[in-house]
Copies of this chain bind each other. A is one copy, B any other.
Amino acid sequence: MKEGQILELKPIGIVHSPYLDRGEAPRQGCGREEICQVEVFKEFEEGLKDIEGFSHIILIYWFHKSRGYHLLVKTPWDTKPHGLFTTRSPDRPCPLGLCVVELIAREKNILKVKGLDAIDGTPLLDIKPYIPSIDEKVNVQIGWLKDRLKVKRI
């Protein structure tokens, strides 16, 4: 790979969400009761086979309302600037969002999910199964975020 190379992506779907813009979306979706509808375009529907058996899935999406980025950012959690890559800000060089959501139901190419922070119209890029034995870690330290986050594990 050469520095400066451009990679191209074509979305596989779109998120229909009750959050209509950035101001309405939660900082993280976990703990929220709202249901979002994740529409997987018909041409990819076959790839959803057997997904009903999974209680949680990982969604990767495009922060389409991202507004460029700064490498040092202030967050709501304290007054100091921190490195962008220690935050979950949507304003990133590659504006990729990531959320582990609860899969409530599937109706053909529509997934009803809970715990998603994406706003309406968000392009969906990928769906992966959430697998605790792979995706969860123990003895985790969260640096400057320690004691600052109010989100409870659900």
Selected from B82, B102, B127, B153, the residue in CB contact (under 8 A) with A136 is B153
Number of identical monomers bound together in the oligomeric complex: 2
* Structural contact, A28 and B125, CB atoms closer than 8 A: no
Chain B residue nearest to A111 in the complex (CB): B85
* Structural contact, A6 and B9, CB atoms closer than 8 A: yes
Given contacts A9-B9, A136-B136, contact A49 B72 (CB under 8 A): yes
Residues of A within 8 A of B (CB): 1, 3-12, 14, 28, 30, 40-41, 44, 46-58, 60, 62, 64, 71-72, 81-88, 92-94, 96, 98, 100, 102, 121-123, 125-146, 149, 151-154
Contacts of A40 in B (CB 8 A): 85
Nearest 9 interchain pairs by C-beta:
A53-B143, A49-B83, A47-B84, A55-B141, A47-B71, A46-B71, A85-B127, A94-B125, A54-B143
* Structural contact, B3 and A129, CB atoms closer than 8 A: no
Given contacts A48-B83, A83-B48, A86-B54, contact A154 B129 (CB under 8 A): no
How far, in whole Å, are A58 and B92 apart by their CA atoms in the complex?
14
Chain B residue nearest to A146 in the complex (CB): B53
Contacts of A94 in B (CB 8 A): 9-12, 60, 125-126
* Structural contact, B50 and A1, CB atoms closer than 8 A: no
Selected from B1, B57, B60, B84, the residue in CB contact (under 8 A) with A64 is B1
